[in-house]
Structure 1
Amino acid sequence: MSSNSNKRRRANDPESHRSKNDKKPRTPSPTEWTDIGKTSSPTGSEELAMINALTLSSPDRPSLRKISPVPYLLTTDPLIQVLGLERLNKDGYINLDSVSKPDPGFGYGKHTTPAVAYRTYKKTNTIDADGEQDVAVGEDSYIHPIFFRDRWDTQELASSSSPYWEELKPVWQLATLLLEEKVMSGYIMGMLDRSSHTEIKTRFDGHAVHWFQCKERPSKQELWLLWEDLWDLKNCIKWSALEITEERHRGVSGTTKVDRSVSGLSKHGVGSKIVINENVLSILCGRINASDFSKPWSPGTDNPSARLRLQWSLATTMVHELMHALWLARHGTTSIEPFFRDTRFSELGWQWETLIYGGAIAPTSDRCEQPYGLQIQNWPGGITHVRYPTLQNVGPEPPKIIELFPVEMSWVADFFKQSFWDFVERYGRPGIICPVPAEGVPFTY
């Protein structure tokens, strides 16, 4: 993969949806992510109190390292070469005129997900007779437990004496909305259901290779099984910081590592540790600024705009990596990730992003600190050199020339507004897809 096309690199190191080999019995529900039981669960406030009691400062948890920012500008980036930073900024692709606070409860107005009903059921052990959640969604339901502070190994985000987890609630709230977005539930269900996969007449490192497609019109019961997986996954993963110790790490937003000390969701499943670029976390925790990584330009990187951009990107990265963690938790390391239909690459995280956003979105200038904005391209486009499984001589040939498009900052900001999610509720996936200019900047592989 060229340096330009690999902007946000991420690596991932049911015979049936839940089979007889699974470790836990099914939860009786009215119609795979963790602890299902008939016993009464604590209320939201009690649950948070329990978590806070467990997340006081701990000498065993690493803290974020002190970072010495190095300004960087990839002058060969096609958008920078052709358009220039000044024009990109003038056209609304780098700095916003002003940055508003997120709307309280964004995403939980007219737009709701069936998963909220499941999480309410897990907390209260009660649900409406029709299996729906009609009451107003309280603040304690805005964030999925998989993003709670007790899932973090990094001191600044794990400790209840630190303000950063609370300050980053909009990130966890957006990640929850993306993870539970109902227009993507068919993708995750099709991905997990190995009994529906079709074998391809090729091998990869001696392993069988399969392809899958989205589950069409899933039933209410099938959806509840999916929300159960998403709930249960919280006990299979941990979040931590990725220390930038090598040059190749600088373009990595996050990566999923196998953690065999933690059980998965089935007999063959394994846990994961998901590590997030330490520079991104340091910026969002206020230790440094995105502008510290920028070369001088006029008018320069606006830090509130860059911070908002990083909040959106972190939420996206976390859900991207959870696609890998979910596969590992359900199917382990002996089964390689399946291909989505005739896509040339097997990479469940990038495929999720491409379906929900309409392409792969990555930093302009190839660095995770994102001082110069974002760009989008078709995925996999013309990419040919990657570490994950590739179908050779199968399907359409990759194009030699692709187009790169800058991403409007107003679109990024909209994700934190209730009106955006009301629009998504009405129009579905077309309401989420990233808008692009009529013409992009061509790039030759």
Structure 2
Amino acid sequence: MSSNSNKRRRANDPESYRSKNDKKPRTPSPSEWTDIGKTPSPTGSEELAMINALTLSSPDRPSLRKISPVPYLLTTDPLIQVLGLERLNKDGYINLDSVSKPDPGFGYGKHTTPAVAYRTYKKTNTIDADGEQDFAVGEDSYIHPIFFRDRWETQELASSSSPYWEELKPVWQLATLLLEEKVMSGYIMGMLDRSSHTEIKTRFDGHAVHWFQCKERPSKQELWLLWEDLWDLKNCIKWSALEITEERHRGVSGTTKVDRSVSGLSKHGVGSKIVINENILSILCGRINASDFSKPWSPGTDNPSARLRLQWSLATTMVHELMHALWLARHGTTSIEPFFRDTRFSELGWQWETLIYGGAIAPTSDRCEQPYGLQIQNWPGGITHVRYPTLQNVGPEPPKVIELFPVEMSWVADFFKQSFWDFVERYGRPGIICPVPAEGVPFTY
């Protein structure tokens, strides 16, 4: 593992997280865009036609397996033990009274975001020199190309003859908003900028270990470089289904696997295949219902509510895994994921979730199909047994008791409403953080 350079770049240096081994030069800043003489990229309709041509039904793409749901209920789950399913439901943590359709264009409002303006430039080579046009965002810009159907290997989501990718557009749209959310851009920049990382006096499997912090007040040019990385990352990853063949897989929503057949973003970077739990995909594609995994209880799991919950969770899981894929694409497999400040664990995906939501959100009853709702806790909390690096011997001691809090379904539903994103635009990260009751349910590790 190569150590960080002793020289730090200036804080306002737009190349601060670029390695000298990076394959591609940076995208010119908007002040330079007007001098570009390249042939314009395909229009939205031409691009869609190209994608459809590439994603016709193919026998080489695996289909989702037929699932035989097994109902389950983890009766030792603290929320279920203390509160019970009926009370959790009555208080708004499992079923909604009704499920509304997502607001058209939720998250974008009347005007574009700078990140969307950048994507518009990449597709069309047309944008004002200052990069800050006020134009209405068209539907073809709601979704980042990293989530397009041509990135999928699973037949149901890759084939243009299948309706499921179109039906799940709210998921891809929400994932795009989370990926490009400006309140998290400093986290991603700090994560990628190894020249700013500080080495820790400990080793993991013989490798040096580092910690980082968020990039404060990134410049426009630094943001453009970040958006370029996210744009180019689409060529470094594939999405597929995780087949549940072992008991340990049942609680895994998604995971990122190294794919050395695909190039990364730098000389040392590698590609990734991100696999999503097949039960989640089967439910969202209408093959089975979340209630099929539920034990009998009153009034029972409402499938529209559970589907909405899974849509939100899938979007979150995809961005969680993209944090790992981005690290691999930029720095490869020989560089250990860094710690965020003095956090006891090094896990870039969970750290992203903790910063944006205020904690780690997981299914109540510990299964990915989520028939009983969600819960949130401080991360890493009292967890001690993990496969990734831990600083528990040199950092803060883990607590013996933590609190678990149920997640309001109304908060989950709000992510698909424009009013929610208007609030986030005004108040920033506090507008996203998950609200919790005054008191939680204690859990002893």
The TM-score, its normalising length taken from structure 2, stands at 0.95
The verdict on how the C-alpha distance between 1:2 and 1:274 changes in structure 2, with shifts beyond 3 A counting, is: same
The verdict on how the C-alpha distance between 1:34 and 1:337 changes in structure 2, with shifts beyond 3 A counting, is: farther
Alpha-carbon distance between aligned partners in 1 of 2:333 and 2:74, rounded to the nearest angstrom: 36
Shift of residue 164 of structure 1?
Answer: 0.1
Shift of residue 127 of structure 1?
Answer: 1.4
Task: Report the 3-state secondary structure (helix = DSSP H, G, I; strand = E; otherwise coil) of the residue aligned with 1:51.
Answer: helix
Alpha-carbon distance between aligned partners in 2 of 1:76 and 1:240, rounded to the nearest angstrom: 32
Shift of residue 2 of structure 1?
Answer: 34
The verdict on how the C-alpha distance between 1:247 and 1:275 changes in structure 2, with shifts beyond 3 A counting, is: same
Shift of residue 186 of structure 1?
Answer: 0.2
The verdict on how the C-alpha distance between 1:380 and 1:32 changes in structure 2, with shifts beyond 3 A counting, is: farther
Shift of residue 177 of structure 1?
Answer: 0.1
1:57 match: 57
The verdict on how the C-alpha distance between 1:338 and 1:127 changes in structure 2, with shifts beyond 3 A counting, is: same
Between 1:108-117 and 1:290-299, the stretch displaced more is: 108-117
Matched, 1:286 2:253: no
**Quick check: 1:31–1:220 contact (8 Å CA) kept in 2?**
no
Shift of residue 40 of structure 1?
Answer: 1.1
**Quick check: 1:15–1:195 contact (8 Å CA) kept in 2?**
no
**Quick check: 1:34–1:232 contact (8 Å CA) kept in 2?**
no
Task: Report the 3-state secondary structure (helix = DSSP H, G, I; strand = E; otherwise coil) of the residue aligned with 1:251.
Answer: coil
Alpha-carbon distance between aligned partners in 1 of 2:280 and 2:8, rounded to the nearest angstrom: 12
Alpha-carbon distance between aligned partners in 2 of 1:83 and 1:387, rounded to the nearest angstrom: 32
**Quick check: 1:257–1:274 contact (8 Å CA) kept in 2?**
yes
2:234 match: 234
**Quick check: 1:256–1:275 contact (8 Å CA) kept in 2?**
yes
**Quick check: 1:158–1:165 contact (8 Å CA) kept in 2?**
yes
The verdict on how the C-alpha distance between 1:234 and 1:22 changes in structure 2, with shifts beyond 3 A counting, is: same
Shift of residue 12 of structure 1?
Answer: 31
- Deviation per CA, 1:372-424, whole angstroms, max 9, x where unpaired? 00000000011111001101322221100000000000000000000000000
Alpha-carbon distance between aligned partners in 2 of 1:187 and 1:333, rounded to the nearest angstrom: 20
1:148 match: 148
Alpha-carbon distance between aligned partners in 2 of 1:62 and 1:7, rounded to the nearest angstrom: 48
**Quick check: 2:112–2:134 contact (8 Å CA) kept in 1?**
no
2:341 match: 341
- Deviation per CA, 1:300-356, whole angstroms, max 9, x where unpaired? 000000000000000000000000000000000000000000000000000000000
The TM-score, its normalising length taken from structure 1, stands at 0.95
Task: Report the 3-state secondary structure (helix = DSSP H, G, I; strand = E; otherwise coil) of the residue aligned with 1:31.
Answer: helix
Alpha-carbon distance between aligned partners in 2 of 1:154 and 1:33, rounded to the nearest angstrom: 37
Alpha-carbon distance between aligned partners in 1 of 2:82 and 2:35, rounded to the nearest angstrom: 52
- Deviation per CA, 1:264-290, whole angstroms, max 9, x where unpaired? 000000000000000000000000000
Shift of residue 28 of structure 1?
Answer: 1.8
Alpha-carbon distance between aligned partners in 1 of 2:75 and 2:224, rounded to the nearest angstrom: 49
**Quick check: 1:74–1:366 contact (8 Å CA) kept in 2?**
yes
The verdict on how the C-alpha distance between 1:217 and 1:11 changes in structure 2, with shifts beyond 3 A counting, is: closer
**Quick check: 2:171–2:315 contact (8 Å CA) kept in 1?**
yes
What are the ranges of 5 or more consecutive residues in structure 1 without an aligned counterpart?
A: none
Alpha-carbon distance between aligned partners in 2 of 1:10 and 1:286, rounded to the nearest angstrom: 52
Shift of residue 27 of structure 1?
Answer: 2.1
The verdict on how the C-alpha distance between 1:2 and 1:217 changes in structure 2, with shifts beyond 3 A counting, is: closer
The verdict on how the C-alpha distance between 1:264 and 1:6 changes in structure 2, with shifts beyond 3 A counting, is: closer
Alpha-carbon distance between aligned partners in 1 of 2:5 and 2:302, rounded to the nearest angstrom: 25
The verdict on how the C-alpha distance between 1:97 and 1:34 changes in structure 2, with shifts beyond 3 A counting, is: farther
* Greater relative contact order, per chain length (Cα 8 Å cut-off, separation 6+): 1
Moved over 2 A (4+): 1-16, 31-39, 110-113
